[in-house]
């Protein structure tokens, strides 16, 4: 599987690549992940970390305690998987306590050191004390840590002292470092944890004051900015780098400039992905580190190739008739059929829909299975995708078919990198030079869809064929292109999907929005290219369970929403009914030109505006899991009509209940 190995290309710094940061260059750091970041048993966690391609792990004590494997067996298992055990954690409430308690703590530590020797781990995380027994006395803390470190060094073990954000007396990294400095023992250093540092608003620049060799370990976690109790925030809302709001590239840069050469290790847990599958979480995790290394200037994977438009959207259904009927009503014409597969091409303007009758008879009926993305350099796009662990989709391609590479997005949607019609690629080679002699450029994949007449006789085309006359008679309704697609995401994979589209495709995420649905808030986040030519709205249902299979939709652009709406009504299109109350409210909400709201009401058109422009839109009824939206953007409107989503969702809910 492509996702399970890392190419060397992503791990070494390409000489001569420009780098805006003055960060020491060398081999990219080793990667590590705390077992607490993954779900399942310790054995399953190790397997998932290794399969994703991590170099090492932190062993979380509770995972070992609950494991039927002995420490020796864990050591062997990790070694067999090619994983180093970079850290054992945590040791709590050690320092700055009355002598009697300290002696007890040293006894406790001695047992842990013995265990670590069995485990083959030589670095122990020591958290700043949260115990009510601890006193606020740096000299005493330093003395105690010195004694602990002396004991540790007898076992060949080193200690990494970490300031917990909620530590009783020590809760900032610079304070922890002052104590470590005062303790002055070679087996004692600090552990820096980005969450503990950034959640308290500490200035990470001070990291550069710490000698690199005294930074024994670096734990990374991102988090959304939420003003809440820091312990709860830490426990429930950590996320992988790039999925929250922290500047982790900056922090890593400080550590590297300080001289830190240890692994970048992820210590991340939250309510959502603790429940997820460990194998895919591990891949998501490693991808986040690769992107972080790139942002911090520590590695130079192939740069992203930002798509410049939608080449097509592919719908799959076991019975294609309802979708064909809908496409005809929308004014699409069937212009071709794939030479070797039961797939039809439907077109109107620059909007292209592939309709595949090869559905596997899945219960959810029609669904959006793939997107074609206009990609200036397909080969470079594939290299980027592979470097960032995107699973490449194996193609069953006939010899004469155009070469089309695709990767699978986290929700399973296949993303095809399609030519733009220039025939050239970024590296100067013409794809026509390729040994397979396949067709190239924008026309490349379309050449696989010869015009229907001549290729398919009426009634012989298998599931999906109807009278070609009907299909070609489609009178255009003013639809020009695909404006955006909206893809509901599985609950566990929302942050993963957002990071995937950002890092693999180079699309920029918008803010996250909460939309009111009759059954809870739907979280929505769009990713878009810089010019808005590709927009994908990622939505997540309020929770897992039976309501997770929300409809997908394709939004088609028009330059005259009223004309398009009128034509679709004349053609008898099934459109989602908008309640009258909506227009009463709309009328009260804004100031209008006379008759304008009456027009919108007559055609069931919804309305939104932002600082830059206006948005008009309406929806078809749903077929299987899929519906269409018709949209008109004017001015520089950048949104998706979020204001109207509750009305749409309620109307769909009503339609569902009959």
By CB under 8 A, name the one of 132, 460, 580, 658 that touches a copy of itself: 580
Stretch 523-542: interaction string toward a copy of itself, x if CB under 8 A: -------------------x
Size (the chain), residues = 658
Query: What is the C-alpha separation between 657 and 649, in angstroms, rounded?
Result: 12
> φ and ψ at 421, to 5 degrees?
100, -10
230 CB neighbour count, 10 Å cutoff: 17
68 binds a copy of itself (CB under 8 A): yes
By CB under 8 A, name the one of 1, 17, 66, 473 that touches a copy of itself: 66
228 binds a copy of itself (CB under 8 A): yes
Q: Copy the structure tokens of residue 633.
A: 């953007």
543 binds a copy of itself (CB under 8 A): yes
Which strands form 405-408's sheet, in the order they lie side by side?
333-337, 343-348, 351-356, 309-316, 367-374, 414-418, 405-408
584 binds a copy of itself (CB under 8 A): yes
How near is the Cβ of 611 to a copy of itself at its closest, in Å?
Answer: 13
115 binds a copy of itself (CB under 8 A): yes
Number of residues that bind a copy of itself (CB under 8 A): 59
Q: Which residues pair with 617 in a beta bridge?
A: 606, 631
Stretch 3-42: interaction string toward a copy of itself, x if CB under 8 A: ------------------------------------xxx-
How many CA atoms lie within 13 Å of 614's alpha carbon, on the beta-carbon side?
A: 11
Go through 269-307 and write b for each residue having 16 or more CB atoms within 10 A of its CB, e for each that does not: bbebbbebbbbbbbbbbbbbbbbbbbbbbbbbbbebbbb
How near is the Cβ of 127 to a copy of itself at its closest, in Å?
Answer: 16
250 binds a copy of itself (CB under 8 A): no
By CB under 8 A, name the one of 17, 136, 203, 235 that touches a copy of itself: 235
Q: Which residues pair with 613 in a beta bridge?
A: 635
Which lies closer to a copy of itself via its Cβ, residue 115 or residue 563? 115
By CB under 8 A, name the one of 581, 595, 611, 658 that touches a copy of itself: 581
By CB under 8 A, name the one of 15, 99, 657, 658 that touches a copy of itself: 657
By CB under 8 A, name the one of 75, 112, 146, 383 that touches a copy of itself: 112
Which strands form 613-619's sheet, in the order they lie side by side?
508-517, 520-528, 535-540, 479-489, 552-558, 626-635, 613-619, 606-609
Q: Copy the structure tokens of residue 94.
A: 């050690």
514 binds a copy of itself (CB under 8 A): yes
Distances (CA, A) of 155 to 60, 117, 292, 596: 20, 7, 35, 81
Query: What is the C-alpha separation between 528 and 409, in angstroms, rounded?
Result: 15
227 binds a copy of itself (CB under 8 A): yes
500 CB neighbour count, 10 Å cutoff: 28
By CB under 8 A, which span of 249-257, 285-293, 377-385, 644-652 interacts with a copy of itself?
644-652
By CB under 8 A, name the one of 49, 57, 64, 180 that touches a copy of itself: 64
186 binds a copy of itself (CB under 8 A): no
Which lies closer to a copy of itself via its Cβ, residue 178 or residue 274? 274
* Interface residues toward a copy of itself, by CB under 8 A: 39-41, 61-62, 64-71, 104, 107-108, 111-112, 115, 226-229, 232, 235, 271, 274-275, 491, 514, 516, 518-521, 542-545, 547, 577, 579-582, 584-585, 587-589, 591, 646-647, 649-651, 653-654, 657
């Amino acid at each position: 599987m492509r996702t399970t190995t890392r190419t060397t290309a992503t791990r070494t710094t390409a000489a001569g690549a420009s780098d805006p940061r003055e960060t020491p260059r060398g081999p990219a750091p080793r990667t590590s992940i705390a077992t607490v970041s993954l779900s399942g048993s310790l054995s399953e966690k190790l397997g998932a970390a290794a399969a994703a391609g991590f170099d090492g792990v932190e062993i979380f004590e509770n995972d070992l305690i609950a494991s039927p494997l002995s420490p020796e067996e864990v050591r062997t298992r990790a070694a067999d998987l090619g994983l180093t055990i970079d850290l054992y954690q945590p040791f709590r409430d050690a320092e700055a306590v009355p002598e009697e308690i300290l002696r007890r703590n040293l006894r406790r530590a001695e047992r842990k050191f013995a265990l670590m020797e069995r485990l083959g781990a030589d670095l122990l995380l020591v958290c700043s004390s949260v115990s009510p027994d601890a006193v606020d006395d740096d000299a005493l803390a330093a003395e105690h840590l010195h004694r602990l470190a002396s004991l540790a060094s007898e076992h060949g073990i080193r200690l990494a002292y970490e300031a917990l954000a909620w530590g009783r007396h020590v809760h900032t990294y610079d304070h922890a470092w002052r104590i470590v400095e005062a303790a002055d023992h070679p087996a004692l250093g600090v552990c820096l944890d980005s969450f503990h540092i950034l959640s308290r608003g500490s200035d990470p620049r001070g990291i550069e004051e710490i000698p690199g060799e005294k930074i024994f370990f670096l734990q990374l976690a991102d988090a959304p900015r939420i003003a809440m109790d820091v312990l709860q925030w830490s426990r429930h809302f950590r996320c992988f780098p790039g999925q929250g709001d922290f500047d982790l590239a900056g922090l890593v840069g400080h550590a590297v400039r300080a001289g830190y050469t240890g692994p970048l290790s992820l210590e991340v847990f939250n309510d959502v992905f603790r429940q997820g599958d460990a194998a895919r979480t591990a891949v998501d995790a490693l991808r986040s580190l690769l992107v972080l290394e790139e942002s911090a200037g520590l590695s130079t994977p192939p740069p992203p190739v930002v798509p410049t438009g939608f080449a097509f959207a592919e719908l799959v259904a076991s019975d294609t008739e309802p979708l064909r009927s809908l496409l005809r009503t929308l004014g699409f014409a069937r212009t071709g059929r794939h030479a070797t597969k039961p797939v039809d091409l439907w077109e109107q303007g620059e909007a292209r829909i592939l309709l595949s009758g090869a559905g596997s008879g899945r219960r959810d009926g029609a669904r959006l299975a793939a997107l074609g993305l206009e990609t200036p350099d397909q080969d470079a796009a594939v290299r980027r995708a592979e470097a960032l662990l995107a699973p490449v989709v194996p193609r069953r391609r006939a010899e004469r078919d155009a070469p089309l590479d695709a990767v699978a997005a986290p929700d399973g949607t296949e993303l095809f990198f399609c030519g733009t019609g220039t025939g050239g690629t970024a590296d100067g080679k013409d794809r026509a030079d390729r040994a397979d002699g396949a067709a190239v450029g924008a026309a490349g994949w379309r050449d696989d869809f010869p015009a229907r007449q001549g290729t398919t006789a009426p009634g012989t085309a298998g599931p999906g064929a109807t009278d070609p006359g009907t299909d070609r008679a489609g009178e255009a309704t003013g639809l020009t292109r695909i404006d955006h697609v909206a893809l509901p995401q599985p609950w566990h994979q929302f942050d993963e999907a957002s990071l995937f589209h950002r890092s693999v495709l180079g699309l920029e995420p918008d803010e996250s929005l909460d939309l009111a649905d009759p059954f809870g808030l739907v979280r929505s986040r769009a990713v878009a290219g810089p010019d808005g030519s590709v927009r994908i709205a990622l939505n997540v249902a309020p929770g897992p369970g039976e309501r997770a299979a929300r409809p997908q939709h394709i939004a088609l652009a028009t330059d005259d929403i009223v004309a398009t709406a009128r034509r679709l009504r004349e053609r008898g299109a099934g459109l989602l009914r908008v309640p009258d109350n909506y227009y009463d409210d709309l009328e009260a909400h804004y100031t209008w030109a006379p008759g304008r709201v009456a027009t919108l009401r007559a055609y069931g058109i919804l309305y939104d505006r932002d600082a830059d422009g206006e948005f008009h839109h309406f929806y078809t009824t749903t077929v299987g899991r899929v519906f269409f939206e018709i949209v008109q953007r004017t001015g520089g409107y950048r949104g998706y009509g979020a204001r109207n989503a509750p009305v749409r969702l309620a109307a769909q809910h009503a339609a569902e209940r009959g």
